[in-house]
Amino acid sequence: MSETDHESRMQWWREARFGMFIHWGLYSQLGGAWKGRQEKRAPSEWIMAAKQIPHRQYKKIARDFNPVEFDARAWAALARGAGMKYMVITSKHHDGFSMFRSALSDYNIADATPFGRDPVAELAAACGDSGVRFGLYYSQLDWRWSILPSPLGLIPNYRKYYKFLKGQLEELLTRYGPVAVLFFDGDWMPQWTKRNGRDVERLCRSLQPEIIINDRVGKRLILDSFVAGKPLVAHFPFLQKMSAGHLGDYVTPEQYVPERPPGGDWETCMTMNTSWGYKSFDHEWKSVNELIATLATVVSNGGNLLLNVGPDEKGNIPEPSVVRLREIGKWLEINGECIYGTTPWRVSSEGPGIRYTAKDGAVYAIILDPPGSNTITLKSPRPADGTKITVLGVKKKIQWKRENSAFVAELPKDNNENAGGRLPVVIKLNGVE
Ligand code: FHN
């Protein structure tokens, strides 16, 4: 893979900044509970391992999995309306169940369930029609093949499984049109090697030369494993460079925003509550403000945000997720120019409440939690003659003055407000150093 190929391939991705992650599979049918007992700790897509459900029992869920309310066009429209420029859906998670029609395994949604359709095909078509780029998640870890459903997932006949894995990737990359992103997952399993990663990366790029592949196709250092609720590297930022994967096009911090950019292209993936897969009793939803602040923080450091939804057993995206995505979409309609196609400015943040991005000679100050007083002081941009200040979404002229070497701006009263809080406000500065 030449650097030029990488640079040209990443162009749209770097401009996109924001995508939808979708975790949907047999586990969605269970909603986080097994035989009436809720799995409170592990995310719901891990229930097979958390409850040590043998494959012969787990596969029976397929008999009842019939998400008749699934509407691919509605999902693509929701992503587009939220300002998400690409989507990544689980084609096969660790449980080994294929959410697409596979000739290599009848343990798939089209052949093993009353639903009988191929949602990957329907979603690929819907994304194509709606201008949202289509991507897939694929897990190397596979509890249909392993001795036990466990994090290590030891597979007795690994050679045969590896052939199956490559065959499924061939199916996914030749049947559904352009696949913009391939998100591998499960690289921590001992049997997966960097050599496998190179071989699979070569295969995928031979089938879709423009495809963007994450670092988990390779073999990240174990440092990326979760410790105390946050990856080890999140506690020791200097380790980030060490732990970044050496294969693929971008690194994948998960459920946290790195304190410093990890170097190269990177994307934080994050849940809106605490579970990737649908968990009916998980109501710990992040607020819209938190989610927009996360997006602003990620982008101000040059990263992308892949924000997750976990559709339920009927094929519906949970209402709390829909509400948040619609609010974020409204905010991006007004303020998207401070996110899309931007690059980090010389200063990424000023205190806890201000993030900076830059584009086409302008600097954007994203005020995460606008003060009631409406007076904003910006210490980082240096005022110059001819500096022009506006607030995105507000036509009114902005009063501002210099105070020593800082800007003091008066925000108009009618900036973005939401029930009980105030959405971030964006000040655009032209002509500052
Ligand atoms: O084990 C998976 C988990 O279920 C989820 O898919 C996340 C999303 O990136 N990845 C792994 C945990 O790092």
How would you classify the pairing of strands 18-22 and 304-309? parallel
Query: What pLDDT shows up at residue 1?
Result: 55
Measure 169 CA to ligand 1 centroid, in angstroms: 19
Ligand 1 pocket, residue 149 CB under 6 Å = no
Query: What pLDDT shows up at residue 398?
Result: 86
Q: Are 80 and 325 in contact (CB under 8 A)?
A: no
What value does the mean pLDDT take over residues 39-45? 97
Euclidean distance between CA atoms 229 and 286, whole angstroms? 16
Q: Are 37 and 104 in contact (CB under 8 A)?
A: no
What value does the mean pLDDT take over residues 195-199? 97
Query: What pLDDT shows up at residue 199?
Result: 98
pLDDT digits (tens, 9 = 90+) for 238-261: 665 555 446 999 999 999 999 888
Mean pLDDT of the chain: 92
Measure 350 CA to ligand 1 centroid, in angstroms: 32
Query: What pLDDT shows up at residue 383?
Result: 81
Of 87, 117, 112, nearest to 97 by C-alpha is 112
Q: Is the dihedral of CA 347, 350, 355, 360 positive or negative?
A: negative
Query: What pLDDT shows up at residue 385?
Result: 81
Query: What pLDDT shows up at residue 417?
Result: 47
Closest-lying ligand 1 atom to the alpha carbon of residue 137: 6
Query: What pLDDT shows up at residue 269?
Result: 97
Measure 185 CA to ligand 1 centroid, in angstroms: 7
Q: Is the pLDDT of residue 369 over 70?
A: yes
Closest-lying ligand 1 atom to the alpha carbon of residue 269: 9
Query: What pLDDT shows up at residue 240?
Result: 56
pLDDT digits (tens, 9 = 90+) for 270-316: 999 999 999 999 999 999 999 999 999 999 999 999 999 999 999 99
Euclidean distance between CA atoms 141 and 186, whole angstroms? 5
Phi, psi of 421 (to 5 degrees): -155, -175
How would you classify the pairing of strands 362-367 and 425-430? antiparallel
Which one-letter amino acid corresponds to residue 121?
A
What value does the mean pLDDT take over residues 15-25? 98
Euclidean distance between CA atoms 299 and 6, whole angstroms? 20
Query: pLDDT-derived band of residue 414, with 50, 70 and 90 as boundaries?
Result: low
Query: What pLDDT shows up at residue 238?
Result: 63
What value does the mean pLDDT take over residues 144-149? 97
> What does each C-alpha distance from 71 to 76, 123, 306, 310, 341 come to in angstroms?
9, 9, 21, 14, 30
pTM confidence score: 0.95
Query: pLDDT-derived band of residue 373, with 50, 70 and 90 as boundaries?
Result: confident
pLDDT digits (tens, 9 = 90+) for 227-236: 434 556 666 6
Of 85, 202, 99, nearest to 134 by C-alpha is 85
Measure 92 CA to ligand 1 centroid, in angstroms: 12
The pick from 91, 254, 279 for probing ligand 1's pocket by mutation, whose C-beta has the most ligand atoms within 8 angstroms, reads 254
119-146: burial string, b at 16+ Cβ within 10 Å, e else: bbbbbbbbbeebebbbbbbbbbbbbbbb
Beta-strand ranges (E) seen in 258-303 are 267-270
Measure 150 CA to ligand 1 centroid, in angstroms: 13
Euclidean distance between CA atoms 262 and 245, whole angstroms? 11
Ligand 1 pocket, residue 43 CB under 6 Å = yes
Ligand 1 pocket, residue 276 CB under 6 Å = yes
Output the DSSP codes for 39-74: --SS-GGGHHHHTT--HHHHGGGGGG---TT--HHH
Greatest CA separation found in the chain?
A: 73
% residues pLDDT > 70 (the chain): 91
pLDDT digits (tens, 9 = 90+) for 306-356: 999 999 999 999 999 999 999 999 999 999 999 999 999 999 999 999 999
Sheet containing 362-367: give its strands across: 343-350, 354-359, 362-367, 425-430, 388-391
